[in-house]
Amino acid sequence: MSKAQETVLEIDFSALTHNFNYLKSKLQPDTKFLAVVKAFAYGSDSVAVAKHLETLNVDYFAVAYTNEGVALRDAGITTPIIVLHTQPVNFKTLIERCLEPSIYNANVLTEFIKTAETLSQKNYPIHIKFNTGLNRLGFKENDIDTIVSKLKNTNSIIAKSLLSHLAASEDANELDFSNLQINRFRAIAEKFKDQIGYKPWLHLCNTSGILNYPEAHFDMVRSGIGLYGFGNSDKEDKNLKPIASLKSVISQIHNIEKDETVGYNRAYISKGFERTATIPIGHADGISRIYGNEKGYVIINGKKAYIIGNVCMDMIMVNVTNIDCKEGDEVVIFDSTNVASTIAESAGTISYEILTAISQRIKRVFKP
């Protein structure tokens, strides 16, 4: 691609294809693949990413909230979509747009049955989430009797799948706990199947689960961060390609004298004669204030330029005293070489946070 002339987020579809194919290569041929495209496809572009994944014959999508699923339907996405955090206020819309709810407690189940019956649904697919140790959302094993009773008393819905979520599948030190979760899920699934009289699909593995626990792939796997180029380990990161590159430009260069200050609250004081560059991206774009005061950096002409002073709403200032650069030069916040996870680590956070924080006001550019 040509050099950036403004702040842009470049999305590389060839990298997305590579990641999808790599993760698929870890599965048995009949194991289904669910792509997680919540949070604007981890800060990229959910519609564009979903459309590309449809060309690769992905089996399912997942979003967090109903409005995210509606946006995909409005864009013409026809692949089945699970809404992971359904809320009763959105049930009518969810059904009208052919979205499938993840049901995680008795109240949500009762309310969804009411809505499905009101709308004259028959065997509407739902996905029942069990809590096996993450302690975020989900039924417990001792809720199975209640769930099955409610399902048998209506023909409006059917359990298409059972799911749970691994808490620490990327952490080798948590092998015992992950195996405990896997075994709990197996027991739940067996008990549920025996009581309901049919076998729903089972899915448990996230990206790290796909890579580390092949025995737990079951009928379907769910991948989010892996599709976007991160495997939650140095080893697997080498097998994946980050799909997003965040770039900008130098708007202005300042020469400042010793003891001059930079930015709000005069947070940076020059130690001598220095050069600073101002770049049009700030905390309104997803570059949090935690990256300020020389914790975070950008890349200019192959060299690190540390952010000085406080991050502004629409701008950052960086130290370019020892960098040969000029106004209009390209600035890389992260790309496939200077990856988001490394930038995130410099401020004590993770790739998920910096990726999903990228503002929708930043222009998206797509690379085939």
Give whole-number Cα distances, 196 to 133, 150, 190, 199, in Å: 24, 11, 10, 8
Q: 170-186 burial by CB neighbour count: b if 16+ within 10 A, else e?
A: beeeeeebbeebbebbb
| 101 contacts: CB under 8 Å, gap ≥ 6 | 82, 83, 86, 91, 94, 108, 112, 126, 127
| 38 contacts: CB under 8 Å, gap ≥ 6 | 46, 62, 63, 64, 65, 68, 84, 224
Question: Using alpha carbons only, what angle is made at residue 195 by residues 193 and 198, rounded to the nearest 5 degrees?
Answer: 40
Amino acid at 91: F
Q: Which of 32, 38, 129, 247 is catalytic?
A: 38
Quote the longest CA-to-CA distance of the chain.
78
Q: Tokens 């097998």, residue?
A: 239
Three-state secondary structure call for residue 88: helix
CA–CA distance, 11 with 228 (Å, rounded to integer): 10
38 as an active site residue: the answer is yes
Where do the DSSP E strands lie in 86-134? 100-103, 124-129
Which of these, 246, 322, 250, 242, lies nearest to 279 by C-alpha position? 250
- The neighbour count for residue 52, using CB atoms within 10 Å, is 22
Q: Which of 264, 326, 363, 367 is catalytic?
A: 264
| Burial class (CB within 10 angstroms; exposed 0-12, middle 13-18, buried 19+) of 190 | exposed
297 as an active site residue: the answer is no
CA–CA distance, 15 with 31 (Å, rounded to integer): 22
| Burial class (CB within 10 angstroms; exposed 0-12, middle 13-18, buried 19+) of 327 | exposed
Residues tagged active-site: 38, 264
